[in-house]
Amino acid sequence: MPLVSQADRLPQRAVDTAEIPEIVISVRDSDRKPLPYYRVAPDVYFLYGNIAEVDRKNRGFNGNAGFVVTDEGVVVIDSLGTPKLGRRLIATVRKVTDKPIKYLILTHNHPDHSYGAVAFRRLPGVRIIGHVGTLEYLDSDNFPASVAFRRRILTLDMKGFKGVKPDILVGGEIYSHTNFTLGGKTFAVYNADHHHSFGDLVVHQVEDRVLWISDLAFNNRSTFMGDGHSGAALEAIDWMRRTFPDTRLMIPGHGSAQTPPFQMVEKTYRYIKRLRDEMRSAVESGQDMESAVRQSDFADWHETPLYHENHKKNANFIYREMEQEVYFGK
């Protein structure tokens, strides 16, 4: 059962559920107030974020995070969307255990997953792990634009924000990994290419067979291509299927966790492939991008949260990819 506030509407569970949370975040909430959380496996705790775009109601709590407690300390996966939420995530860990936080793994650079990292930077002894693409993101035009937007709508929550460079960078060959062990638990951190952002990680709890997939697949909502690559997303999903066939629990960056057969993965794959096929056909037939995007409509997705906010953006993004593939090769 989650930690419940009277203002919140929370699912009774966070695994294999179609229920979505509605968690109201107040700017007046104390930094030491824990966020709602679920125990989804032995020693594994999950924060199930709102299914929504960032706004003043959710105050940036529109993505998931979690943590794993070991005998020697805690591993946190993702930091949520503002410094204030990062501090409240730390308070949530403290609600569960007094063991020290040893690692923070940032699965990718998007603000809903990484802008709370500065709160962890201020803790003694924490090592932050991130994709090497994080450095490119911090040097890109996307970064100041994103920070300015969040500061405009979430001024107090963003107080003290700074971009965080990871202590340990994961890169190299695609699908290679870096391992570390803490308290008898092995964590394998994989370079999953740039399917959704400037660089994406997948985290495998080896002995527990728990897989943190970040935004490689979405649950309880529509896919968002971000600034990755749709072809890389399909390849990464194929890789994930091959590499982790015995996974017991899969935890996405958005939506509830799942046990096999992981329908969210198949649904995400089918959506991306369908949109790629549609946009490729449009490019090959000479249809211009504006009309191709305008006409793209997946009626069977209309009831899926955030479809109407994301689908045209995805179509625009993938049309441009298909132009590159059709005219210049992959």
Give 256-317 as a DSSP string: -BB-TT-HHHHHHHHHHHHHHHHHHHHHHTT--HHHHHHH---GGGTTSTTHHHHHHHHHHH
CATH superfamily of 38-270: Ribonuclease Z/Hydroxyacylglutathione hydrolase-like (3.60.15.10)
DSSP, res 202: E
Extents of the domains making up the chain: 38-270
User: What string of pLDDT tens digits covers the 330 residues of the chain?
Assistant: 454 444 578 999 999 999 999 999 999 999 999 999 999 999 999 999 999 999 999 999 999 999 999 999 999 999 999 999 999 999 999 999 999 999 999 999 999 999 999 999 999 999 999 999 999 999 999 999 999 999 999 999 999 999 999 999 999 999 999 999 999 999 999 999 999 999 999 999 999 999 999 999 999 999 999 999 999 999 999 999 999 999 999 999 999 999 999 999 999 999 999 999 999 999 999 999 999 999 999 999 999 999 999 999 999 999 999 999 999 987
Q: Is the pTM of this model over 0.95?
A: yes
Distance CA 283, CA 297 (A): 17
What is the tens place of the pLDDT at every residue in 211-260?
999 999 999 999 999 999 999 999 999 999 999 999 999 999 999 999 99
